[in-house]
Amino acid sequence: MQQQDYLVRAMLGENQARLFALRTTEVVRQAQHNHHTSPVATAALGRTLTIGLVIGAMVKGEETITLQIKGDGPLQGIVVSVTSQGTVKGYVGNPHVDLPLSAQGKLAVGAAVGEGYLHVIRDLGLKEAYQGTVPLQTGEIAEDFAYYFTHSEQTPSAVILGVLVGVDGVPLGSGGIIIQLLPDAIHDEEFITKLEVSLEKLPPVSSLFAGEQTPEEIVESAFGELGVHFVGHQEVRFHCDCSWERFEQALITLGPEELEELVTANEVIETVCHFCNEKYNFTPEQLNNLLAKLLNPRE
């Protein structure tokens, strides 16, 4: 059964906290399908795609945000790019990582990611992009982003992310819940205690989002006692904006000497988009036309 993935925003209590909840099962299925990721790579990439969509939903106006997880583990890093319009794309350095399950019987995402840094790069349409960097805490992604929000953006946050991978490697469910305390509530002990109790009782989100419940129903059943007021809804999907023309431009920037070498080699050149794994082929004839365009731009 396919359901459209979407994100909901809500306010908790008397506007003491804001909440984002989203199902990303189809997003992560598409990523797994494109990149042929192993279960642990699917979980690592899926969690990062999910938090990416939340960060995208936090910004106003048109903006692209890039998340980079640079860890020294066998996954060789994660890159996710998200727009404020609910589209996301991403990849991992080594999609075929295979590690034994952790002592708790879970996919060993932290061990796959390793130690390193998390970068959040906001492209504000200006020349300089704003960047926030924090050291990775556990490599499990959720803890790392909770630390990022709390220390880099001074917003105490609970981040829960989960991807459930089936025995055939296909994701069965994926989603996340992110709760951020608003400034007035930072010393509201009563609210914080109630919130902590609700968070402790929360079942694993990967199973919640694999089930029949909608994001709204999941939020209501987990945080209903605090008071939930939904304020927004956005569809989310895996989407890459690459094209043959874009790769043509990239080949042109190689310059005439390198292009001429490619033409002389007389072979089909295959280019691959890192973000979505789409392949674009250029025949020697097409390369020759590119070279001609480059040398005689007016013709």
Which residues form the interface with Zn ion (CB under 5 A)? 240, 242, 273, 275-276, 278
Q: Considering the complex, what minimum distance in angstroms separates the CB of residue 242 from Zn ion?
A: 3
- Of 123 and 278, nearer to Zn ion (C-beta) is 278
Closest contact distance (angstroms) between CB of 55 and Zn ion is: 20
Closest CB to Zn ion among 118 and 242?
242
Q: Closer to Zn ion by CB, 68 or 180: give it.
A: 68
| Closest to Zn ion by CB, 242 or 263 | 242
Q: Closest separation between CB of residue 256 and Zn ion, Å?
A: 27
* 36, 43 Cβ separation under 8 angstroms: no
**Shortest reach from residue 294's CB to Zn ion, in Å:** 24
Closest contact distance (angstroms) between CB of 243 and Zn ion is: 8
Our CB check for Zn ion shows the closer of 30 and 180 to be 30
Question: 8 vs 273, which CB is nearer to Zn ion?
Answer: 273
Q: How far apart are CA 135 and CA 156, in angstroms?
A: 17
- Minimum distance from residue 67 beta carbon to Zn ion (Å): 17
Closest CA to 172 of 35, 31, 25: 25
Sheet hosting strand 64-71, strand order edge to edge: 130-135, 116-123, 64-71, 78-83, 87-92, 237-238
